[in-house]
Amino acid sequence: MEIITGIILIGGVLGLIAIPLLTKVDEDYILEQKLSLEEGDKYHQLLYKKENILTAIKDIEFDYETGKLSEDDYKKTRGDFEHMAIEVVKEIEQFTKKAKEVKKNKQQKRKKSFCPSCGEKLSQAYKFCPACGKSI
């Protein structure tokens, strides 16, 4: 009985952790699909770096609150990390922007490859559909 309760507890805890992680990873994964393998790696590294910096900032705040860090040290160290965080976020935004552009371009290409009127498959970006003559 105790074992079963334990399993249910562990399962419940894992479920709680896994849900936000999965939704976040899913979004990252979609973005990564729009990047090259190398860019995807870099993007992942940036996300990891951002997490580390945010954790470090939290640690500094904790150290300051518990009196382990002087106010001067706290302000200086926190400032350094905040600067790093801004840089990383900027880089991440560039990747996000690029991935969104790639996604948009792909959607536009897909739109062009079929006639919106008759559904004829178009081998290139025609101005008029060769099958029904509708402007595209």
Residue 29: φ, ψ to 5°: -60, -45
Residue 113: CB minimum distance to Zn ion, A: 12
Q: Name the nearest CA neighbour of 119 among 109, 105, 129.
A: 129
Instruction: Give the number of other Cβ atoms within 10 Å of residue 113's Cβ.
Output: 12
What's the token pair of residue 68?
């382990």
Residue 48: CB minimum distance to Zn ion, A: 48
C-alpha R_g of the chain: 25
Residue 98: CB minimum distance to Zn ion, A: 33
Task: Return the number of the residue (14 or 132) whose C-beta is nearest Zn ion.
Answer: 132
Binding residues for Zn ion (CB under 5 A): 115, 117-118, 120, 129, 131-132
Task: Return the number of the residue (90 or 109) whose C-beta is nearest Zn ion.
Answer: 109
Task: Return the number of the residue (92 or 131) whose C-beta is nearest Zn ion.
Answer: 131
Instruction: Give the number of other Cβ atoms within 10 Å of residue 46's Cβ.
Output: 19
